[in-house]
Structure 1
Amino acid sequence: MGGTNVWDAEWEVDEEQARTLIGKQFPQLSSKQVKRLDSGWDNTVFLIGDEYVFRFPRRTFAIGTIRTEGRLLPELEPFMTLPYPIPLFYGEASDEYPAPFLGYAYVPGDFPIGLTEERRALSAEKLAKFLRRLHEFPVQAALKGGVKQDHRNLTDIASRKVQMTGFLSKVVDHLSPEESGAIETYMGRLQKDRVEAVNVLLHGDLHFKNILVNENGIVSGIIDWGDLSVGHPACDLSVAYSFLPPFARGAFFETYGGADEETKLLARLIAVYIPILILMQAVDDGNEAIAAEAKFNIMRALSD
């Protein structure tokens, strides 16, 4: 049963169940090792051999998003400038498991945890080119493929500030006085209540747990497309603030093709908002490494 947190699962899949479900529907994979990799808010992820990754929804909400991924991700390939997981295996719901699930080609890499600012800056143009092309995907084709349009009301700054105040009350004991003070000062100075709507196709959840880097710390892949949606580009452009140091942001926005001040304002807000959510879950899970990286992301986003 689901718990009290928004990331709590309605049902869980363990390695044995994943092995059984995959083996029954895709017998050609039945001899491969199954290893649990991670779980996010919506899906539990397993590595199959060293070639494939399977994602199993853990909440009812994720059923629709996994189906949308299955339809739309293959269509993105001509627009992609970075590796991403392309669906290859389409699992169906059954009496044993209530949701469809997807298997993808494995995208190798590591999370960008503990990278130096200089190393992060080396990916500025790569990230900008990736987002420029993704945001060029035809919006009508995306909507036809089933993605939702601005279901998170991204442009409503006032509402997001209220939510952040509530979030901060839950993690304040895990922040230093300097960290909590910096966040509160930023929020106090943020006077705009809303920005004008702009619609592009979004990855929708572009934070450090969905970005992969190679052995040199250079961005090498983008994973977890469960938040594919149409909405304001600032949602994805937030990576310029959470991932990149201040001295690399000029090159990022120049390569992307520019962004107005409203877009940058909203991008910075989302770059603070998302890591606060990640921090909340990391605290709940007792994951000190993820909690520390989330705090670094917040402080980087607030730096000029």
Structure 2
Amino acid sequence: MVHPLLEIEVSEDLVRTLLREQHPDLADLPLAWAGTGWDNALWRVGDQLTARFPVRAVAAPMVEHEQRWLPVLAPRLPVDVPTPVRVGVPSSTYPWTWSVVPWFDAVAAHHTPVASRSAWASQLAEVFVALHRPAPDDAPVNAFRGVPIAPREEPLRERLERLALPDADRILERWRDLAATPAWDGPALWLHGDPHPANLLVHDGRLRAVIDFGDVTSGDPASDLSTAWLTFDADGRAGFRDRLGPDDATWRRAQAWALHMAVVLQMHPVDHPALAEIGRHGIAQALAD
């Protein structure tokens, strides 16, 4: 199966070579492939570390954003995050910046039953209470997160036409209603950028870590709060909202973002079936509310 977005294949030999070149004290540890997403390939390095490599040029700045800002944000947050412990630089072997981050003994939330996630819904809300604070002027810019939702109609319509989803008309109608909500008029807040359940790690029924801050940016917190529909059922969503306390307009924009994100997650269902399933769940939840 060919990854639809991959520009470089990060093989075990390449990982071993890069470690020998730049971090030789790690080069002889066991390596195990831990997955390849839209943007990054993950290789477990020994028992306690993970090496993270962009697989396409557009993802390379995201790793640099993590390297710059996670050391600033991590001390504020009530769960672990993958703050880089080593930095890899571009070389003749590989063209982009890469990172070595901690390995967390946990499972991604999308591998757990939806109903079980309610147990830590308020814990995730605590993460956003801590994170969603005014960001500095030099925070990373992301054209697809934290921005006004209303201008996303054209790309949403195009994706719905391409996917030919059975509920496409209902999705667009509901999205239009929600997106007509007044825009965010507060300060630009720090945002994770992509907190869907594949980026939430769970251990023993608790939220263990939040990972993949590559889309970290600032702006309207509604795009982060879209996870309420992507991750939880109605019970979990209620606990999440109760702890977070967003105003009604922010919650409606978040629901619009949930529909938008849920459609995006279904764009490569063969190569990324887990993300497509998250998208299907998000649509069902957002249409049910």
Instruction: Say if 1:194 and 1:8 are closer, same or farther in 2 by CA, change over 3 A.
Output: farther
1:275 to partner: Cα distance = 2.4
- Structure 1 residues 222-278: Cα deviation after superposition (integer angstroms, max 9, x where no partner): 11110010111111111122212223333322322x212221111111112222222
Instruction: State the alpha-carbon separation in 2 of the partners of residues 71 and 253 from structure 1.
Output: 30
| Selected match of 1:296 from 264, 281, 284 | 281
- Structure 1 residues 97-128: Cα deviation after superposition (integer angstroms, max 9, x where no partner): 11111101112222223544431211111011
Instruction: State the alpha-carbon separation in 2 of the partners of residues 128 and 193 from structure 1.
Output: 22
Instruction: Report the RMSD for the aligned CA atoms in angstroms.
Output: 2.4
Aligned match of 2:16 = 19
- Superposition pairs for residues 157-168 of structure 1, below 5 Å? 157-168=149-160
| Selected match of 2:89 from 84, 89, 92 | 92
| Selected match of 2:135 from 122, 136, 139 | 139
Report if aligned partners of 1:155, 1:266 keep a CA contact under 8 Å in 2: no
Which amino acid letter does the alignment assign opposite residue 216 of structure 2? L
Q: Does 1:121 align with 2:109?
A: no
Report if aligned partners of 1:246, 1:303 keep a CA contact under 8 Å in 2: no
1:153 to partner: Cα distance = 6.5
Aligned match of 2:247 = 260
Report which stretch shifted further, 101-110 or 184-193.
Answer: 184-193
Aligned match of 1:274 = 261
Instruction: State the alpha-carbon separation in 1 of the partners of residues 94 and 150 from structure 2.
Output: 40
Shift >6 Å, 4+ stretches: none
1:297 to partner: Cα distance = 2.3
Name the count of aligned residue pairs.
Answer: 287
Report if aligned partners of 1:87, 1:104 keep a CA contact under 8 Å in 2: yes
| Selected match of 1:201 from 168, 185, 190 | 190
| Selected match of 1:151 from 143, 151, 155 | 143
- Structure 1 residues 140-164: Cα deviation after superposition (integer angstroms, max 9, x where no partner): 2xx44xx324533644333212211
Instruction: Say if 1:208 and 1:135 are closer, same or farther in 2 by CA, change over 3 A.
Output: same
Instruction: Say if 1:114 and 1:37 are closer, same or farther in 2 by CA, change over 3 A.
Output: closer
Report if aligned partners of 2:76, 2:130 keep a CA contact under 8 Å in 1: yes
Aligned match of 1:52 = 49
TM-score of the pair, normalised by structure 2:
0.89
1:193 to partner: Cα distance = 7.1
Aligned match of 2:233 = 245
3-state DSSP of counterpart to 1:93: coil
1:132 to partner: Cα distance = 0.5
| Selected match of 2:5 from 5, 8, 13 | 8
Report if aligned partners of 1:43, 1:55 keep a CA contact under 8 Å in 2: yes
Which amino acid letter does the alignment assign opposite residue 291 of structure 1? A
1:188 to partner: Cα distance = 5.1
Instruction: State the alpha-carbon separation in 2 of the partners of residues 194 and 66 from structure 1.
Output: 33
Instruction: Say if 1:228 and 1:293 are closer, same or farther in 2 by CA, change over 3 A.
Output: closer
Aligned match of 1:212 = 201
3-state DSSP of counterpart to 1:280: coil
- Structure 1 residues 57-97: Cα deviation after superposition (integer angstroms, max 9, x where no partner): 22223332222211211122221111111210111111111
1:289 to partner: Cα distance = 4.3
Which amino acid letter does the alignment assign opposite residue 77 of structure 2? M
Instruction: State the alpha-carbon separation in 1 of the partners of residues 93 and 179 from structure 2.
Output: 51
Report if aligned partners of 1:134, 1:202 keep a CA contact under 8 Å in 2: yes
Aligned match of 2:103 = 106
Instruction: State the alpha-carbon separation in 1 of the partners of residues 287 and 140 from structure 2.
Output: 30
Which amino acid letter does the alignment assign opposite residue 228 of structure 1? V
Structure 2: unaligned runs, 5 residues or longer:
none
Instruction: State the alpha-carbon separation in 1 of the partners of residues 158 and 243 from structure 2.
Output: 36
Instruction: State the alpha-carbon separation in 2 of the partners of residues 18 and 107 from structure 1.
Output: 20
